């Protein structure tokens, strides 16, 4: 388990990748960071702020022309899948595909390098 408090803060601006169920998202990994960020959960805003582990995946400007040229990923299941994949092999220059199966906190993710 990753200790959130020991991770570096990811610098703003935040660019949260909103994954729609059933839609595949593909992008080329130009680099990545693992860190923490403080968010307000959209589904439960009354719970207040929450500090979470996040993966920031940098992508080429041609794939995401608008600044910033990265995606911040925060769903815990997906974060831990990505950390395992990104640290196990050299991901730079590879295309990653992510698909979410359903909305909400019970979602699972399919993640693969193409």
Radius of gyration of the chain (CA): 14
State how far the Cα of 77 lies from the Cα of 69, in Å rounded to an integer.
23
Q: Which domain holds residue 26?
A: 4-113
The structure's pTM equals 0.92
State how far the Cα of 92 lies from the Cα of 50, in Å rounded to an integer.
30
Tens of each residue's pLDDT in the chain, 114 residues? 789 999 999 999 999 999 999 999 999 999 999 999 998 877 777 778 889 999 999 999 999 999 999 999 999 999 999 999 999 989 999 999 999 999 988 899 999 999
Number of domains in the chain: 1
Which ranges constitute the DSSP H helices of 39-93?
A: 76-88
């Amino acid at each position: 388990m990753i200790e959130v408090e020991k991770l570096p803060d990811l610098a703003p601006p935040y660019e949260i990748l909103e994954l729609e169920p059933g839609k595949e998202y593909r992008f080329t990994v130009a680099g990545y960071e693992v860190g923490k960020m403080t968010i307000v959960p959209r589904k439960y805003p009354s719970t207040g702020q929450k500090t979470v582990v996040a993966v920031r995946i940098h992508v080429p400007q041609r794939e995401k022309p608008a600044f910033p040229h990265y995606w911040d990923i925060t769903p815990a299941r997906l974060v831990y899948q990505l950390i395992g994949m990104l640290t196990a092999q050299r991901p730079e220059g590879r295309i990653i595909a992510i698909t979410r199966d359903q909305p909400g906190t019970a979602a699972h993710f399919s993640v693969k390098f193409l």
